[in-house]
Amino acid sequence: MDNRSEIREFLSTRRARISPDQAGLPAYGGNRRVPGLRREEVALLSGMSIDYYIRLERGNLSGVSEGVLESLSRALQLDDAEHAHLFDLARAAGSPKAPRRKPVEQQVRPTVQRILDAMTDVPAYVRNGRRDILAANKLGHALYSELFADPGRPVNVARFVFLSPKARAFFIDWEGAANDLVAVLRTEAGRNPYDRALTDLVGELSMRSEEFRTRWAAHNVRYHRTGLKRIHHPVVGDLELSFEAMDLPADPGLSLIVYSTEPGSAAEESLKLLASWSASDGDPASAPQAADGKSSV
């Protein structure tokens, strides 16, 4: 990925979303040719010359001090994820360009797999920054059975969301899931700009999915560490699950994802049905029965 282009597009898209009123500036000048703030307004808010800001927005962050980056972050009203992404881009700009690293097969340590297997009442899995699912417990496999049905390995959530015809039925809020996925992949690209497997994934999705291309061009970034996941499972129907993402310090780049439900909720009952179904190894004949006596498959 071209670092200068990444910087240029990120700064210009952040500038475009802030109105003078939001920045506490008078809206002088009549009709504005571009949305959001002008370059000179960002320079004013950042306490730098317009020429210096133009240099930055042209993609030159090499050698820029932390103080300047902090001022720029405040002027553009960046959130935590965007702030970190700006610093990631600056770090890459100040480093010698490295060759794209050959993909290395990531593996989950046996101790981590044992922890997963011991979690019998909740779905859980381990993923990397590219959203490859590297390992899961039995209930995690059952929850994401639609993804694991694809013989390709490792299972990748982004490929499923943008390339599988089943994805829009599986994710109840497909738009939200798609937006989140692209934003976290963009965040990962800033953090690991020379990850060849990530670059290849982005290239593949950009070629095959207009929905992905449009979102990728927005340069949005975000953290996705906790929240709600709403899915329509083909066996037990609708599920609303809370999730927590926990980094594995001994395995840089890997995170443990655990889902849970509200006690006494319909989702909890559905999860118990899913556990029963997964205990039978997903045999269609043992699918839970709906209230009308028909299989929910």
pLDDT reading at 297 higher than 50: no
Domain ranges of the chain: 3-93, 110-286
Per-residue model confidence (pLDDT) at position 278: 86
Per-residue model confidence (pLDDT) at position 30: 60
> pLDDT tens digit string along 218-274?
999 999 899 999 999 999 999 999 999 999 999 999 999 999 999 999 999 999 999
294 versus 74: the higher-pLDDT residue is 74
CATH 3.30.450.180 at 110-286, yes or no: yes
Q: What percent of the chain has pLDDT over 90?
A: 79
DSSP the chain: --HHHHHHHHHHHHHHT--HHHHT----SSS-SSSS--HHHHHHHHTS-HHHHHHHHTT--TT--HHHHHHHHHHTT--HHHHHHHHHHHHHHTSPPPPPBPP------HHHHHHHHH--SS-EEEE-TT-EEEEE-HHHHHHTHHHHTS--SSEEHHHHHHH-TTHHHHBTTHHHHHHHHHHHHHHHHHH-TTBHHHHHHHHHHHHH-HHHHHHHTTT-----SEEEEEEEETTTEEEEEEEEEEE-TTSTT-EEEEEE--TTSHHHHHHHHHHHHHHTTT-GGGPPB-TTSSB--
> Residue 295: which pLDDT band, with cuts at 50, 70 and 90?
very low
> Residue 26: which pLDDT band, with cuts at 50, 70 and 90?
confident
> pLDDT tens digit string along 197-229?
999 999 999 999 999 999 999 999 999 899 999
> pLDDT tens digit string along 174-194?
999 999 999 999 999 999 998
Per-residue model confidence (pLDDT) at position 99: 58
> pLDDT tens digit string along 113-124?
999 999 999 999
Q: What does the mean pLDDT of the chain come to? A: 89
pLDDT reading at 33 higher than 80: no
> Residue 151: which pLDDT band, with cuts at 50, 70 and 90?
confident
pLDDT reading at 283 higher than 60: no
> Residue 96: which pLDDT band, with cuts at 50, 70 and 90?
low
Q: What percent of the chain has pLDDT over 70?
A: 89
Q: State pTM to two decimals.
A: 0.88
Q: Which architecture characterizes domain 3-93 according to CATH? A: Orthogonal Bundle (1.10)
